[in-house]
Structure 1
């Protein structure tokens, strides 16, 4: 009977030692998971720092786009820089998501293992307690409860208390680890929101840059067209002034009236006596007048079309003042009055 109780005692002690070793192994695994969570937090911190760098690059690109009207940045270079920044950010986010999913999976597995271990340990503890009570009853019945057995029983009780304390501590650590994983998930969500905002700002900057380039191209084209049209109008006005007979319209304002029977003004502005026409043939003045009249009709038609074009386009109307002031010889005061009405 005593030998049987001794064997049972030794068996219970060995089982207690085995369970304690398994508990220590579970604690080591939990420590490993905690280290992985710490590493994940460190990587999240690195991702936040890189995100700050990306925001700084975005600000630099924004400042560069504001000066694009005077010194525009080449389109392919801006696109390449934006593509590289977005690629780095996407790669980092993908890596962080993968690691976070792996950490969550491992945490869930560890939590499941720990729950199963706790359940098994609870059952085994109850069995050990029941076995201890049975052994104690047998020792009481046999009347041979020795001091060594009491020490073993006390040790077993101590081990049971330690296991219970470890179980409670591991439960607290599990809750703490769950909070840390939640914080890591919140940080990842913040990074994703910032990433979406950065992409929106990049898209807005690209749109502004493209609009600036299109506006610059349009202004250059319009400016060149206006210079060409103004040059043509000035040439036509000069040609009309050379071909206009003296004393007609507003071209007579700067010339002195001369008797019609004494002299006439030639094409180069030199006054010469009129010659008598030959009988039966048109005079030189009549031929010149007819040719000048035809040229005048053509040039007036061209000027009319040009003025209509200026009036049809609202943004070109201010330039019409310069054209009219050149053709009609406006004074500065008249030019300002006309410009104020446009």
Structure 2
């Protein structure tokens, strides 16, 4: 029974170690996913800041143009208002996320305070394995979404480069226009005869204005495409937040499993303490039985040493000599003596048989103790007192055994 309990304890320890290793792996995977989510949020904030900056620059450039571009300014203001609305929605989403995180922390505290049952441990471990597989699938999906976000970032960078190039072109056009206006003013001051040249220049300016308006339409289209991309990114962020909530649920379940493991460890320790107490009680009972065995052996030896005839002689010597009786009385006494002698002989035979049986039992017990002493090194220190009692070792021999163990 003790060996079976030791085997069961070893198996339970191994299973607990495996579950702890798995929980560590799950924690590492969850930290990696959190880091990736934080990186994505940072990239999103950077892209939104860049978009805001670029929109402000575009609005300034369009304000410096002629008063005929008021419609474009109104459109830009509408886009800015939409961006502000999106920012508010993002802030509300962040606030909701924080609120959900606080609620999850409260729920975690409530789950930690509640005691878990040891009977449902195996079932919950199977569920945790299934959840781990689902988490791995979700991590793969997150990696795919991360790749998509990187591609979107790359496309946004390319579009930023295009916007910078367009900005440079617009600045060059503005500089050229300013130069042309200076020339026109000088030409007006010099003479009114160059009216035809001015008309030609105005025609060229109108053509350039038309090109600018076409560029403006293109920029508005690009802004719309960027807004669509922003909406897609917001949807992706919402999906990532949902995945985050699911990962947090897996974390709570993992903490529940850890609490269950702790309770199981405490129960195992309590069982080990109970077993150690039972072993000590058994040892005390063994010592008591050994002492009883010794006393019984000594009594049996004393009884076996006492012969039957000297007892009868001593009894006759102690008893007073009776008066002579008839032959019939003497014959009866002889018959009684003959009947008592086989009873004494049978008692001595039974005592010898019991001695032999006890010696065989002691030999079997000694053989089992020696086999256990040779098999396991951990139990040698416990078996040395038993061997000293049975084989009557000297103190030097006991020291040699302790040194070898």
TM-score range, shorter chain: 0.3 to 0.5
